[in-house]
Structure 1
Amino acid sequence: MPGYGSGPAGPTGGPALGTVPVGDSREAGWPGPEQDAAGHPAAVPAPAPRPALGEGAPLPAAKRKVPAKPAKKKGRNKLVLACGGLFALFGVAYGAGLLLNHSDVPKGTTVLGVDISGTRDEAVSKLQTAFGNRAAAPLQLMVGGKTVELKPEKAGLSLDGQTTVRNAAGSDYNPVTVIGSLFGSERAAEPVMPTDEEKLQVALQELAGAAGSATEGTITFDTGKAVAVPGKPGSTLDVDGSTDLVVKAFRAMVATGTSDPVELPVTTKEPVVDQAELDRAMKEFAEPAMSANATVKIGTKPIAFGAKSLPKILSMQVVDGHLVEKYDLEALKSTYGNTWDGILITRGTGEKTAVTPQDVAGALGKALRGKTPAERTVVVDTNAS
């Protein structure tokens, strides 16, 4: 009768030790040994032997060698220290420079070589002391070989001390400038010298009439009566070509304190005012103006202008080819003096202000054109609106 399996029998009649009944183990759900192709149990590989200590096995933590840290370079440390020292020194110097430059105009600020550092008032005073006389001195000019003078104030040329100081004031935080101030370095500021172009043109035109050989037709009041004077062609100052030269001459005089005569260009000129224009101006204004006294009354106080005062006040000028009267406001004010002091005129804005030379000139112009005594007296309305 067949046994548990086909293997050899053991001493008790059961399967021999070392064999497992294949059928029963599978039925029981036991895991059987793996078999080879012939059905025999596969050999189990023996465990690999442990490597001996020191032959591939990791060393204990206490015996592991730790890589040594590279030694610090001494030269590198010195460089870092030196850079740190320089930076600290720079900070101290910069702070000291800021402390010294706490004024309105920083230390070492100059205008045309003159130190103006300090408060704004001090700086303006220093500018006035150094350049005030230079900026007011007459310019020496030459027109057609003739030397003439031109006052800067009349020609609209000036040194603006207030604006110069305002531009130069304020802290300069540039490290080069701040630290340089500790060693006496300068911070140059540009002088502001504005030009009133309109005043300069008028001044040069007057100069052209006085210095050139050409003359313009005009009317004079020097004899106490109106006299027509025809113009004649000739050489005259080239106004447009002289403008830049005069400005440069003024700035050079302010900077150096000296003024060598500057030769201005001339040109040929024909009179603008012809005989027809002379006749018109004489008839419409000049002859009536000098025919009798002209009276201006403000408040209760009148003043008469006549043959003695009018030649000092009146002149003629060319405007767009026509002769028109011109009033010397300073001479006019000198004539009426303090007569109308304390009298106020109500302006269009409602504001009440004192009498001005312009008020008097406007009234005088109307009176000079009058033909009857009544027309030649003009009352200024102090309540005008």
Structure 2
Amino acid sequence: MVLLGGGVVSLLAVAYGAGLLLNHSDVPKGTTVLGVDISGSRDEAVAKLQTAFGNRAATPLQLTVGGKPVELKPEKAGLSLDAQTTVRNAAGSDYNPVTVIGSLLGNERVADPVMPVDEEKLQVALQELAGTAGTVTEGTIKFDTGKAVAVPGKAGTTLDTGASAELVTKAFRDMVATGSAGAVELPVTTKEPAVNQAELDRAMKEFAEPAMSGIATVKAGPKSIPFGPKSLPKILSMQAVDGKLVEKYDLEALKAIYGNSFDGVLITRGTGEKTPVSPQDVAGALGKALRGKTTAERTVTIDTNPS
């Protein structure tokens, strides 16, 4: 019995030594990722992963938002298969006798794929999808000839980005693992417009109604140009920013309207350089004039030599 036991130990020792010799490579023999053998050098292992899963990891995901089919590229959504880290985690010799001897018998050593998620990029991508598929209508103010008109918003549906992030991540990992994820229906939720009636009332009272109440004049040097009911609707609009309505000026339309009115007028900038009047200069002065109540308040001069 002693001799028999010693013989078994000797055989195991020989097998263990043979297993260590076979597993001298960076990635031990029998190591697999998602069923693909990646044993060999690190470079070989990375190449095997890229060959097996590279196309899958780059395949656009097929999604549905509110019944509308859309595609989402994994790279844009911050989803990837990190072959380098996967191999690094799988590399190195395993000195466990059971594992070493098992490799001689063809046993599989399973390594997990590393598929990181850039949460910020994923949320940005989902917000873009929400913008194209949502049915919420924001409250705004439209400028018509001689008047400002408040347009209330309407509640609707929008993408549930929190729940969708989990589904998109799972779909990507399924695609890498199996080559197919199927069309994924992303959940939507009800959303109220960010601009409510109170904000509409405020913006109408503080800006829109005064803006359309009469002529606003912008001066620069010896020159000036009036803006009134016909020209202002071509320039003005309102946009929602964090639930607030702020005025927006179409600088191209503004430049087309004042044309060469300020040609030859130069403004001394903070650097000391003198440059022509720009649409931004005119928009800044016009914004002040539109809030005025009297003729004097509605006439604003661009400072050409600010100190």
TM-score w.r.t. length of structure 1:
0.50
Match of 1:293 in 2: none
Match of 1:147 in 2: 69
Match of 2:22 in 1: 100
Structure 1 residue 320 displacement after superposition: 4.1
Distance 1:159 1:281 in 2: 52
Match of 2:171 in 1: 249
Q: Pairwise mapping of residues 156-305 of structure 1 onto structure 2 (< 5 A)?
A: 156-216=78-138, 232-273=154-195, 276=200
Distance 2:282 2:107 in 1: 76
Distance 2:44 2:83 in 1: 11
Structure 1 residue 190 displacement after superposition: 0.4
Match of 2:51 in 1: 129
Deviation larger for 102-111 or 206-215? 206-215
Give the direction of change, closer, same or farther, for the CA distance of 1:278–1:252 in structure 2 (3 Å limit): farther
Pick aligned residue for 1:370 from 256, 276, 280: 280
Percent identity over paired residues: 74
Structure 1 residue 88 displacement after superposition: 0.5
Distance 1:167 1:247 in 2: 21
Give the direction of change, closer, same or farther, for the CA distance of 1:317–1:368 in structure 2 (3 Å limit): farther
Give the direction of change, closer, same or farther, for the CA distance of 1:231–1:170 in structure 2 (3 Å limit): farther
Distance 2:42 2:186 in 1: 38
Give the direction of change, closer, same or farther, for the CA distance of 1:264–1:85 in structure 2 (3 Å limit): same
Which 4+ residue blocks in structure 1 deviate beyond 6 angstroms? Answer: 277-282, 316-319
- One-letter amino acid of the structure 1 residue matched with residue 189 of structure 2: T
Distance 2:165 2:3 in 1: 63
Alpha-carbon contact 1:281-1:323 (below 8 Å) kept: no
Q: Pairwise mapping of residues 4-19 of structure 1 onto structure 2 (< 5 A)?
A: none
Distance 1:260 1:101 in 2: 39
- One-letter amino acid of the structure 1 residue matched with residue 38 of structure 2: I
Distance 2:36 2:82 in 1: 15
- Per-residue CA deviations over 1:121-166 (Å, capped at 9, x if unaligned) read 1111111111111111111111222221111111111111111111
Q: How many residues align?
A: 213
Structure 1 residue 189 displacement after superposition: 0.3
Structure 1 residue 278 displacement after superposition: 8.7
Bigger strand share: 2
Alpha-carbon contact 1:211-1:237 (below 8 Å) kept: yes
Alpha-carbon contact 1:230-1:278 (below 8 Å) kept: no
**CA root-mean-square deviation:** 3.3
Alpha-carbon contact 1:157-1:194 (below 8 Å) kept: yes
- One-letter amino acid of the structure 2 residue matched with residue 207 of structure 1: L
- Per-residue CA deviations over 1:35-68 (Å, capped at 9, x if unaligned) read xxxxxxxxxxxxxxxxxxxxxxxxxxxxxxxxxx
Distance 1:91 1:120 in 2: 28
* Unaligned stretches of 5+ residues in structure 2: 142-150, 209-237, 247-276, 284-307
Alpha-carbon contact 1:218-1:278 (below 8 Å) kept: no
Alpha-carbon contact 1:116-1:127 (below 8 Å) kept: yes
Alpha-carbon contact 2:194-2:242 (below 8 Å) kept: no
| SS of aligned partner of 2:16 | helix
- Per-residue CA deviations over 1:262-286 (Å, capped at 9, x if unaligned) read 111111112224575998999xxxx
Larger Rg: 1
Structure 1 residue 214 displacement after superposition: 2.4
Match of 1:68 in 2: none
- Per-residue CA deviations over 1:337-381 (Å, capped at 9, x if unaligned) read xxxxxxxxxxxxxxxxxxxxxxxxxxxxxx9972269xxxxxxxx
